[in-house]
Amino acid sequence: MVDRIIKKKRWTFRRIAWILGAVLIVSLTVYSLLLSGQGSRLNVNADRLRIATVVRDEFQEYIPVTGTVIPINTYYLDAVEGGRVDTVYLEAGTFVRKGERILKLANTNLLMDVMYREAEIFQQSNNLRNTRLSMEQNSLEMERQLLELQFRISQQRRIVESNISLAHKNLISQREFDESKDELDYLERRLVLTRKTQRQDSIFRTVQIEQLEASLERMEANLAIVRRNMDNLVIRAPVSGHLTSLNAEIGESKKRGERLGQIDILDGFKVRVPIDEHYIARIDKGQQATFSLSGGTYRMTIAKIYPEVLESRFMVDMSFNGEEPGGIRRGQTFRLRLELGELSETVLLETGGFYQKTGGRWVYVLDELGAEAKKRQIHLGRQNTEFYEVLDGLEPGERVITSSYDTYGDNDRLVLK
C-alpha cells in the first residue's frame, strides 16, 4: 500500500482568527492615537454660554470706589481743657453764629489753680513792694550816714588846721596833733568806704527788684494762661455754620482734647473716598473720576491725599469739576469710576466668570463655524469692570466663551449643541 501525501491547508481558522485579532488591535491603537491628537471633548449647551467678541477699542483703566459726601469746610469742637459738662446751650442740628456759646464745662481743679496763682501773685507783689520800701529806707540811711561823715570831716579838718598853727607855736603836744590828724584820715577813709557800700547796695537792690519784677511778670503771664483756660471751659462756635453733631450730656466728664462735636459750612461739598492700599503708588492729585446721578454724568478731581493707611485703606478728597449736582446732602454716597491711566487703544475682551477658573491664563476660543471651542493660552494686562486688556493670544474678531468654566473640567475642546 502506497502512502498518500496530504497537502497542508494554508488558511486555517486559527490563522485567520490571529490575523483578525491583530488587525483589530492595530485599528484600536490608531483610533486612540487619533482621538488623543484631538484632545478630550465635552458637549455643552450653547444657550447657556456667554460669548464675547474680541475687539480693538479705546481702553480706560479704572477702579470702582464708593465716596461719601461731606462739606468742604468742617470745624471740629474739641475740649481744650477737661471737665464735667455743666451747661448745654444748643442742640445738634441747629444753626450757630460765630462766638455763640454751645456748652460749658466745670473744672474745680482749674478753679483752685487760678486761686492759688492769684495768691502767689499777691505775695510776690508784697515782696516787691517791701523790697522797694527797704531799698528806699536803706538809701535814706546811707545818705544820712554820708552827710554825718561829711560834717564830721569838715569839723575835723578845721581842728587839724587849728592844731597845725598851735603846733608851730608849741601850744599843743605832738601826740594831740597826731591824734587829730589820724582822726581826719579815719573819717575820710570811712567816707570812701561808705560811698562804695552805697553803690554796691544800690546795684544789689536794683538787681533784686528786677528779678522780683520778672518773676511777677511770669506769674501774671501764667495766671493769664490759666484764666484763658478757664475761658476755654465755655465752648463757643469758631465760625457760623450748622452744628452737625454735639456729643455732650450734662454731668458727663470730658477729657482734654476729646472731640465734642463739629460745625459744617454748607456752602459747598466734596467727596471723601477710601481706596485700597494696593493702589497707593498709582494715586496722585489731579486724577479724575466719574459718576452718574439722576441721569447725568459728573466728573471729579482728586484734591487731597491722606497718606495714612488704616485697615488696609487710605483716604482721598475729591472736588467737583464745575457745578455740584443739585440736591445732594451730607452723608450721601456715590459709586465712582476712578481713572488710573490715560485713554489708549488696545485689544479688549469683556470681563466674565471664566477669570475665576483660569486666572486669565487661558480661554475657550470658538472656531469660525461656532460649533466648537478650543482651549488657548493667552496673556491679559490691565482691567476695569467691563474689559480686560489682551496682550497676547487673541485677535480682534475672534469669539471667546466668557461665562464660568467651573463645570468644564480639564477638557481641551467644547462641542456646542
Domain ranges of the chain: 40-59+343-416, 63-106+243-339, 108-230
Strand order in the sheet with 51-53: 41-44, 413-416, 372-377, 362-366, 399-401, 51-53
Per-residue cell: 350: 469683556
CATH of domain 108-230: 1.10.287
- Within 8 A by CB and 6+ apart from 209, the residues are 128, 131, 132, 135
Q: Per-residue pLDDT for the chain (417 aa), expressed as one digit of tens each?
A: 455 555 555 556 666 777 777 777 766 665 554 444 456 788 888 888 899 999 999 888 888 899 999 888 888 899 888 888 898 998 888 889 999 999 998 888 877 877 887 777 788 777 777 777 777 788 888 888 888 888 888 888 888 888 888 878 778 888 888 888 888 888 889 888 988 888 888 888 788 878 877 877 887 777 777 777 788 888 899 888 889 889 888 888 888 889 899 998 878 889 999 999 988 988 999 999 999 888 888 999 999 999 899 999 999 999 999 888 888 888 899 999 998 877 888 999 999 999 998 988 999 999 988 889 999 999 998 888 889 999 999 999 999 999 999 888 888 888 888
Positive or negative, the Cα torsion across 305, 306, 307, 312? negative
CA dist 94 and 77 (Å) reads: 15
Decide if 57 contacts 345 (C-beta within 8 A). Answer: yes
CATH number for domain 63-106+243-339, candidates 3.40.50.1820, 1.10.3720.10, 2.40.30.170, 3.30.70.100: 2.40.30.170
Per-residue cell: 237: 462756635
CA dist 222 and 124 (Å) reads: 14
CATH number for domain 40-59+343-416, candidates 1.10.10.10, 3.20.20.20, 2.40.50.140, 2.40.420.20: 2.40.420.20
Q: Is 166 helix (H, G, I), strand (E, B) or coil?
A: helix
